[in-house]
Amino acid sequence: MKAVYHQGEQSLKGVKYGEIEIDELKDTDVKVKLKAAGLNHRDLFIPGRHDENDPALVLGSDGAGIVEEVGSEVSNVKVGDEVIINPSLGWKENDAAPPEGFEIVGFPFNGTFSEYIILPGDNVEPKPEHLNWEEAGVLALSAMTAYRALFTRAKVEKGMKVLIPGATGGAGTFLLQFAKAAGAEVFVTSRSEEKRQAALDLGADKAIDSETDWDEALDGEKVDVVIESVGAVTFNKSVDQLKRGGTLVAFGASAGDTVDFNLRKFFYGQYNLLGSTMASTEELEEMLEFIEQHNIKPVMHKSYPLDEFEAAFERLDKAGMMGKIVFTI
């Protein structure tokens, strides 16, 4: 099959497009003919983690397609079903943290940037009817992450005030749409005037320039929850916007892993700091019901064929997009 895969040099220079063998179908597996596959920042990092001496690895965690073959022990889907890929391997119930052995599709096992994928039958879910193939193909990983951070961890509900720094990437646009659908008042930040306007068009109550004084821009208004995925650059500004007793949920660190903050100020403020990552199959199924109930669709930025992977990766790396990038297959 044709695929975008990593082999050799531990960097994006080791990413290639070409022919690769399809994995063997086990009794508990399904074979899906992929129609679309979404890119995530994770796909930029995996080539630096995949050992140069290991066999070729197909990249990609998100995808959607049609079931082409099922193993003898698979009963939840049949040939011809339209499905999305559940990238959460080995995490079924909504627990406090993923279990030992939890992995994500695309590393260390083959991913979705290919014509076909073989994976456990438990790792496909019915494609939402209101989404087209490209929208379905970019959905799961970012939307699962956003759903768990907002509802399982932060317990966002109607009437709460939520701040989302950098709410213009894939997960950020889901956070914005989900929080608004739940009845929250949502504030976002972005350096781009164009993206701030796009966020307002999506339903944000306020969109402020990341480079300004946030407290002044929000007229001193404090929030119940901050969903922080930017990292060191915004972390302290995010804490400063919390109400006393407020909650900050962190699930990303695209602008730096290490943060220095005033511990005394933090505990006097009675703040809550929670980590979050990905989500369970149970939460994925809840999220799919939620987006169908509220008719939520991913914000799409641009599509590429698989053989234009270099342009797609460059676009993702520059973080110049509003919404999701997708491979059409």
Q: Residue 297 burial by CB count (10 A; 0-12/13-18/19+): exposed, middle or buried?
A: middle
Residue 113 to residues 18, 46, 49, Cα–Cα distance (Å): 11, 13, 17
The answer to whether 271 and 248 are in contact (CB under 8 A) is yes
**Mean pLDDT confidence for 241-262:** 88
pLDDT digit string, tens, across residues 112-159 = 999 999 999 999 999 999 999 999 999 999 999 999 999 999 999 999
Please tell me the least confidently modeled range out of 54-68, 184-198, 229-243.
229-243
322 pLDDT more than 90? no
pLDDT digit string, tens, across residues 28-81 = 999 999 999 999 999 999 999 999 999 999 999 999 999 999 999 999 999 999
Band (pLDDT 50/70/90 cuts) for residue 90 is very high
The answer to whether 268 and 294 are in contact (CB under 8 A) is no
261 pLDDT more than 90? no
The answer to whether 192 and 140 are in contact (CB under 8 A) is no
Q: What is the pLDDT of residue 234?
A: 87
Nearest 5°: phi and psi at 320? Answer: -95, 10
The answer to whether 303 and 39 are in contact (CB under 8 A) is no
Residue 102 to residues 4, 6, 25, 83, 136, Cα–Cα distance (Å): 24, 22, 21, 22, 23
326 pLDDT more than 80? yes
Kindly write down the DSSP assignment for every residue of 66-129, as one continuous string.
EEEEE-TT--S--TT-EEEE--EET--S--SSPPTT-EETTBSS--SSBSEEEEEGGGEEEPPT
Rounded to two decimals, the pTM is 0.95
Q: What is the pLDDT of residue 170?
A: 81
Residues 6+ apart with CB under 8 A from 50: 6, 10, 14, 57, 107, 108
Q: Mean pLDDT score of the chain, rounded to an integer? A: 95
255 pLDDT more than 70? no
319 pLDDT more than 80? no
